[in-house]
Amino acid sequence: MSGAVYVMWLRQLKRFWRSKPRVIGGLAQPLLFLFALGMGFGPVYAAAGQGDYLQFLIPGIIAMSILFTAMFNGIEVIWDRQFGFLKETLVAPVSRTAIMLGKTLGGATVAVLQGIVVLCLSLLFGYRPASVGSVLLGLVFMTLIALLFASFGIAIASKMRDMHGFQLIMNFLIMPIFFLSGALFPLDGLPKAIGTVTTLDPLTYGVDGLRGALTGLNHYSLLLDLGVMAALVIITTLIGAYLFSKVEL
Partner 1 sequence: MDGYRHGAEEEQRTSIVATGLTKRYGPLVAVDNISLSVPAGVVFAFLGPNGAGKSTCIKMFTSLLQPTAGDITLEGIDVAKHPHRARKHFGIVFQDQSLDDELTAYENMEFHAVLYGVPKQERERRIDKALRVVDLEDRRKDLVKTFSGGMKRRLEIARSLVHHPNVLFLDEPTTGLDPQTRRNIWEHIKQLNRERGMTIFLTTHYMEEAEAIADIIAIIDHGRIVAQGTISELKRRTKTKTLEEAFLKLTGKDIREEQASSVDRMRMRRRMHP
Spatial contact of 142 and 118, defined as CB atoms under 8 Å apart: no
- CA neighbor of 173 nearest in space, from 206, 201, 208, 141: 201
Q: What is the DSSP letter of 165?
A: G
- Determine which residue in the list 87, 120, 136, 238 makes contact with partner 1, applying CB under 8 A: 87
CA–CA separation, 218 and 57 (whole Å): 12
- Determine which residue in the list 46, 92, 123, 234 makes contact with partner 1, applying CB under 8 A: 92
219 interacts with partner 1 by CB under 8 A: no
Strand, coil or helix: what is 221?
coil
Minimum CB separation of residue 11 from partner 1 in Å reads 6
188 interacts with partner 1 by CB under 8 A: no
Distance of alpha carbon 65 from the chain centroid? 6
- Determine which residue in the list 47, 91, 193, 200 makes contact with partner 1, applying CB under 8 A: 91
- Count residues contacting partner 1 (CB under 8 A)? 28
248 interacts with partner 1 by CB under 8 A: yes
Minimum CB separation of residue 32 from partner 1 in Å reads 27
- Determine which residue in the list 85, 166, 179, 242 makes contact with partner 1, applying CB under 8 A: 85
- Determine which residue in the list 21, 49, 84, 189 makes contact with partner 1, applying CB under 8 A: 84
- Determine which residue in the list 13, 31, 94, 243 makes contact with partner 1, applying CB under 8 A: 94
H or E element at residue 10:
helix 2-18
**Backbone φ and ψ of 138, nearest 5°:** -60, -40
Which residues touch 187 (CB under 8 Å, ≥6 apart)? 195, 198, 204, 208, 219
Give burial (CB, 10 Å; 0-12/13-18/19+) of 124: exposed
- Determine which residue in the list 28, 161, 167, 191 makes contact with partner 1, applying CB under 8 A: 161
What is the torsional sign of CA 219, 223, 228, 229? Answer: positive
Residues 121-160 that bind partner 1 (CB under 8 A): 160
192 interacts with partner 1 by CB under 8 A: no
88 interacts with partner 1 by CB under 8 A: yes
**Options 13-21, 52-60, 121-129, 191-199: segment touching partner 1 (CB under 8 A):** 13-21
- Determine which residue in the list 23, 37, 90, 197 makes contact with partner 1, applying CB under 8 A: 90
Residue 189: count of CB within 10 angstroms of its CB:
6
Give the footprint of partner 1 on this chain (CB under 8 A): 3-4, 6-7, 11, 14-15, 18-19, 83-85, 87-95, 160-162, 164-165, 248-249
